[in-house]
Amino acid sequence: MEDYSWGMKNLIQKYKQRVHPTDRRPIIMTLFGCAIMGFGIALIKLSSLGSDPYTAMVIAMGDKVGIDFSLILIGTNCLCFLVQWRLQRELVGLGTFVNWILVGPLASVVEKALLSIGQIYESFWLRLLLMMVGVIVLSFACALYQTADKGVSPYDALSIILARKSKISYFGCRFLTDLLCAVMTFLLGGLLSIGTLVCVAGLGPFISFFSKNIAVPLLLSGKEKDDETKK
């Protein structure tokens, strides 16, 4: 998939031709990646130290109108999907719909479940730990679902489409979409804090690390064994 984020393009183009078309691991990685993505987002939300710009904007919108985060996320993804479908339909796949439908509700369920444990999130250091674990989980989830190459989430598609339609680099387009979300969060009275900065600075390196060391080897492990057997 072209113009993928954080160096994923080269990894995917280099390895995806070696995966057999009937191999189900890409689908499993997509489903599992999107599932734990909701868990990572929930942890970041619970830290109350900010979150990635898009999630922060969705949270701010939900707080403003009094609607659950999961419903607002589905609604905003609908708007992004209209652009994705109209301009770059090849970016639509299983991962698009699973990410769209599953992540928001799962994040809300996990958040409510953890909140029911008690008032354990008052300590700054515990909240900082929650945020860092959330960023790592979210990065791992993105590595799995992006490496599987089964479709892009509606929001992720926006920066890819913008890069393809303009002379701006992908990274510049991603920064622009994240910046717009951050501005909207501020205007809605949402929280922009250390978590947002950590997400912007940390997601890329973590995703790259998990992709190279876990996601790609996981995707290819069975294929390599089959090749050795044939030999």
Distance CA 120, CA 126 (A): 8
**Two tokens, residue 89:** 């339909």
CB within 8 A of 129, min separation 6: which ones? none
**Over 90: is that where the pLDDT of 187 sits?**
yes
Distance CA 9, CA 3 (A): 6
Instruction: Kindly indicate the confidence band of residue 88, based on its pLDDT and cuts at 50, 70 and 90.
Output: confident
Which amino acid is located at 111 in the chain? E
The answer to whether the CB of 196 falls within 8 A of the CB of 50 is: yes
The answer to whether the CB of 94 falls within 8 A of the CB of 153 is: no
The answer to whether the CB of 219 falls within 8 A of the CB of 14 is: no
Report CA-CA distances (Å) from 153 to 76, 94, 228.
12, 9, 35
Please report the pLDDT score of residue 19 as a whole number: 52
> Is this prediction's pTM over 0.85?
no
More confident residue, 2 or 223: 223
**Two tokens, residue 231:** 């030999």
Which amino acid is located at 143 in the chain? A
Instruction: Kindly indicate the confidence band of residue 167, based on its pLDDT and cuts at 50, 70 and 90.
Output: confident
The answer to whether the CB of 200 falls within 8 A of the CB of 53 is: yes
More confident residue, 161 or 205: 161
Distance CA 52, CA 60 (A): 12
Distance CA 114, CA 34 (A): 19
Q: Closest by alpha carbon to 49, among 105, 130, 109, 103?
A: 130
The predicted-structure confidence for 25-63, as pLDDT tens digits, reads as follows 888 888 899 889 989 988 888 888 877 888 889 989 999
**Over 50: is that where the pLDDT of 4 sits?**
no
The answer to whether the CB of 32 falls within 8 A of the CB of 24 is: no
The predicted-structure confidence for 98-119, as pLDDT tens digits, reads as follows 887 788 788 888 888 887 776 5
CB within 8 A of 87, min separation 6: which ones? 161, 165
The answer to whether the CB of 57 falls within 8 A of the CB of 184 is: yes
The whole-chain average pLDDT of the chain stands at 78
Q: In the chain, what is the straight-line distance between the N-terminal and C-terminal CA atoms, in Å?
A: 31
Please report the pLDDT score of residue 231 as a whole number: 43
Q: What is the largest CA-CA distance in the chain?
A: 62
Instruction: Kindly indicate the confidence band of residue 22, based on its pLDDT and cuts at 50, 70 and 90.
Output: low
